[in-house]
Amino acid sequence: MSRATPFILGLTGSIGMGKSTTSAMFAGQGIPAWDADATVHRLYQSGQPAARQIETLFPAALDPDGSVNRAALRALIQSDPTTLDRLNAAVHPLVAQDRAAFLHAHANAEIVLLDVPLLYETGLDRTCDAVAVVSAPPEAQRQRVLARGMTEAEFDMLLCRQLSDAEKRRRATYIIPTTSLEAARQAVKDVLADIRRTLYA
């Protein structure tokens, strides 16, 4: 039996769990993927709607070319706890518009992927047919994040804003282990096979 709309699979996981790599694996299997982080990055470019919003709200976070300086924005967030909420209020509607446009463009797809770091925290899981959570041991997560150049303080602050890995795994339809590329790649194939079984049962 075919569906009138695509099966929406949400993909999420805490920082450093390997979500971007796993998202690319789904894309490699031919699944259209929407990346919330990449969307924000694009919207932060000079002349884009989010950059214009941030110019009004936090002018100190803009580079001379009109693009958002993420390091400066992070510093503002650390110095003032209200900054992140004000930023989210400005940027989230723009991201939602982009996501809606993606879903419209792929309305005839069999399965689509929504790659969203804060899927549960923003309630977006309720719009998904299933959710896959990427997960790795805490020591591997911390090592990966600090290797990117993030400080311990920044890492701890981000973790405080996210649901715990244990809670995400508890809520998940599928768990994708990212202890190795091979394990993640096999799990991606298994997830897609299971979804297709439900679609064509």
- Based on the domain organization, do 47 and 20 belong to the same domain? no
Say yes or no to pLDDT of 27 above 80: yes
Chosen domain end from 79, 105, 131: 105
Q: What is the mean pLDDT of residues 11-30?
A: 94
Ranges 14-23, 56-65, 92-101, 155-164: which has the least confidence: 155-164
Q: Which of 105, 124, 142 is the last residue of a domain?
A: 105
Give the mean pLDDT of 95-114: 97
Of 32-41, 74-83, 157-166, highest mean pLDDT: 32-41
pLDDT tens per residue across span 121-160 = 889 999 999 999 999 888 888 888 888 888 888 888 777 7
Q: Same domain for 124 and 144? A: yes
Q: What is the percent of the chain with per-residue pLDDT over 70, rounded to a whole number?
A: 99
How would you classify residue 28: left for phi > 0, otherwise alpha for psi between -120 and 50, otherwise beta? alpha
Q: What's the chain's average pLDDT?
A: 92
Same domain assignment for residues 124 and 193: yes
24, burial (CB in 10 Å: exposed 0-12, middle 13-18, buried 19+): middle
Cα–Cα–Cα angle for 154, 21, 118, rounded to 5 degrees: 50
50 shares a domain with 15: no
Say whether both 97 and 125 belong to one domain: no
Is the domain of 56 the same as that of 16?
no
186-189: long-range pairs with CB below 8 Å, 24+: 188/22, 188/25, 188/26, 188/29, 189/29
Which residues span the domain enclosing 74? Answer: 38-105
Question: Which is more confidently placed, 143 or 169?
Answer: 169
The pair of structure tokens assigned to 46 is 């000079």
Instruction: Identify whether residues 81 and 166 lie together within a single domain.
Output: no
**Predicted TM-score (pTM) of this structure:** 0.86
* Range of lowest pLDDT (2-6, 61-65, 175-179): 2-6
> Whole-angstrom Cα distance, residue 186 to residue 181?
9
19 and 88 share a domain? no
Looking at the 3D structure of the chain, how many domains does it have?
2
Question: Quick one: pLDDT at residue 2?
Answer: 56
Last residue of a domain, one of 81, 105, 129: 105
pLDDT of residue 1: 47
Q: Cα(136)–Cα(13) distance, rounded to whole angstroms?
A: 9
Nearest of 121, 115, 151 to residue 40 by alpha carbon: 115
